[in-house]
Structure 1
Amino acid sequence: MNLRAIPDSMDPTTVGSIDTELDRVSREHRVRIRLAIESGSRAWGFPSPDSDYDCRFVYVASLDTYLSPWRTRDVIETPLTGLLDVNGWDLAKALRLLVGGNAVLIEWLMSPIVYRGDSAFRDELRALADEVADRDQVARHYLHLGARQWRLFGGSGSLKKVFYSLRPAMALRWLREHPEAVVAPMPLPILLEECELPADLVAAVRELTELKSRTREMGSGGAPAPIAAFIAAEFERARDAFPKTSGRDLARAKAATAAFFRQQTIVTATG
């Protein structure tokens, strides 16, 4: 385990509690945690003073677990404790969802905040994601997620919730401007920097981010006009730019992910 990237802004006591919880999960569930990262607003680059700590991890179970005819759960969930939310997926589940177009594992692989992990594992899994993930399906994941949140916002509501639509919309914009890429950066500030955007939009996003960073309650109201127009326009463009795919041949993707899974179970069994 040679990965560790914790910003100074994170509370060291809380980080210590997460480390303790990850140690407990490994010991009690007899699994090897290959990567544990921060998800949610802290990793996306727009935390509030009272934001939760959303630790997510990918684990590999013992070889006995995979060779048994009796299925076990492929998710480990721990009780919510204060601001701590610590949950993880079995590698097999993560790979199935990756091939199916779910962007969650991709998000985890791109998180700038890492509690622990193996750099070779992350690098190889990132390369695998680039190889097997379907660009249009990943984009449709962002579209579905962001458009749903935008409908729930309904034009006016808690300003915090604007970010739940803004970040997927920005990821869609980044993917449109980088047509050879499958995986978009995770932090909102990087998405802003790497896209060609109107100055008034960038200013509005930075102002809203700054407000969220220093207040627990942002209040309610409509999204700033440049942001609202951007979100609506990006979701509309994405419906044509990233069409629904059907009948995709998954043989190669399944073979590549199966080979990676077998390699990692052997590493765990012999490590």
Structure 2
Amino acid sequence: MLTNTALLKEAGLPVTDLGPVVAGGRHPLLFATVSGAHLYGFPSRDSDVDLRGVHVLPAEDLVGLREPDETRSRMWDSDGVEMDLVTHDLRKFVRLMLKPNGYVLEQLLSPLVVHTSALHAELVALAPAVLTRNHAHHYRGFANTQWRLFERTGELKPLLYTFRALLTGIHLMRTGEVLAHLPTLLARVPAPSYLPGLITAKAAAEHGGADGVDTVAVARDIESLHRALDGAQADSGLPDGASGFDALHELVVRARLAPVPAG
């Protein structure tokens, strides 16, 4: 898997050289991808760039008495754009993969790749072995959280996050594919016709209000998508449990005991 410069430019993202960030870190970086609104297909002009990824702690950090810092974050400015890089240690990330956690799978499978390695490609290849029908719970819960946030703030962002989560969950249950890009989802899953207009409106401001939105009609549509997700989960061909534990365990051990190849 290569850094996809063309897709980064298409998404309106700066093609960021993470070389100085990687060189300045104590631990090897397996991958970094773009998440958040840019991945979901509705960034605003003032959106930050959310980078997510995985680093590898050395074995000595895990065998002693001190608890290791498994999550690291760094923020910086790149030509006026705020960049936010958050990475988990490989073991923590893989444990999250083995739970019904769609968020980490979206990060792993994001086509907006900023930094990569051979082990990143191996993780991507193992992703299908952790997909289960229980991932519907993740998307149902995330949609409920974002809907409550929309009810409280009236902002357009959590409303689009609500629709995106439900459509991603429905598509995953039906096809086994993790797809987080809302405009693409609209071509694959039946959805309200007003969503493209909301995406356009969101481009104006990251925290803009959902002015003119018929909240009664929207609530009805959200409930309809919840029913569609319930039905897709019940009919899904995905397994009830993950099958990739042993292969992922072997990968973590190998990565911990051997140097990570350069990306």
TM-score where L is the length of structure 1: 0.79
Structure 2 counterpart SS, 1:55: strand
Structure 1 counterpart SS, 2:56: strand
Q: Is the 8 A contact 2:136 2:173 kept in 1?
A: no
CA, structure 1 residues 105+160, in 2 after alignment: closer, same or farther (shift >3 Å)? closer
CA distance in 1, matches of 2:22, 2:261: 21
User: 2:112 maps to which residue?
Assistant: 113
CA distance in 2, matches of 1:112, 1:106: 12
User: 1:10 maps to which residue?
Assistant: 13
Q: Does 1:207 align with 2:197?
A: yes
Q: Is the 8 A contact 1:46 1:213 kept in 2?
A: yes
2:223 to 228, 232, 237: 232
Q: Give the stretch that moved more between structures: 165-174 or 252-261.
A: 252-261
Q: Give the stretch that moved more between structures: 30-39 or 98-107.
A: 98-107
Q: CA RMSD in A?
A: 2.9
CA, structure 1 residues 155+233, in 2 after alignment: closer, same or farther (shift >3 Å)? farther
- 1:139-196 Cα offsets, whole Å, 9 max, x none, are 2111101112112322871122211201101112212432xx1x4212112222222x
CA distance in 1, matches of 2:241, 2:44: 43
Q: Give the stretch that moved more between structures: 183-192 or 35-44.
A: 183-192
TM-superposed deviation, 1:86: 1.6
User: 2:42 maps to which residue?
Assistant: 46
User: 2:237 maps to which residue?
Assistant: none
User: 1:254 maps to which residue?
Assistant: 245
Q: Does 1:185 align with 2:187?
A: no
TM-superposed deviation, 1:97: 1.1
Structure 2 counterpart SS, 1:71: coil
User: 1:263 maps to which residue?
Assistant: 254
The number of residues matched between the two structures is 250
CA, structure 1 residues 156+61, in 2 after alignment: closer, same or farther (shift >3 Å)? closer
Q: Is the 8 A contact 1:140 1:242 kept in 2?
A: no
CA distance in 1, matches of 2:33, 2:246: 27
TM-superposed deviation, 1:254: 3.0
Q: Give the stretch that moved more between structures: 227-236 or 144-153.
A: 227-236
CA, structure 1 residues 255+167, in 2 after alignment: closer, same or farther (shift >3 Å)? same
CA distance in 2, matches of 1:67, 1:34: 21
Q: Does 1:173 align with 2:170?
A: yes
Q: Does 1:151 align with 2:148?
A: yes
TM-superposed deviation, 1:224: 5.0
Answer 1 or 2: which has greater helix percent.
Answer: 1
- Identify unmatched segments of 5+ residues in structure 2: 235-239
Q: Percent identity?
A: 24
CA, structure 1 residues 62+47, in 2 after alignment: closer, same or farther (shift >3 Å)? same
TM-superposed deviation, 1:260: 1.6
1:219 to 181, 205, 209: 209
User: 2:126 maps to which residue?
Assistant: 128
User: 1:21 maps to which residue?
Assistant: 21
TM-superposed deviation, 1:80: 6.9
CA distance in 1, matches of 2:140, 2:19: 34
CA, structure 1 residues 19+259, in 2 after alignment: closer, same or farther (shift >3 Å)? same
AA matched with 2:67: R
TM-score where L is the length of structure 2: 0.81
- 1:225-260 Cα offsets, whole Å, 9 max, x none, are 7654332212234346537xxxx777x543222112
CA, structure 1 residues 161+262, in 2 after alignment: closer, same or farther (shift >3 Å)? same
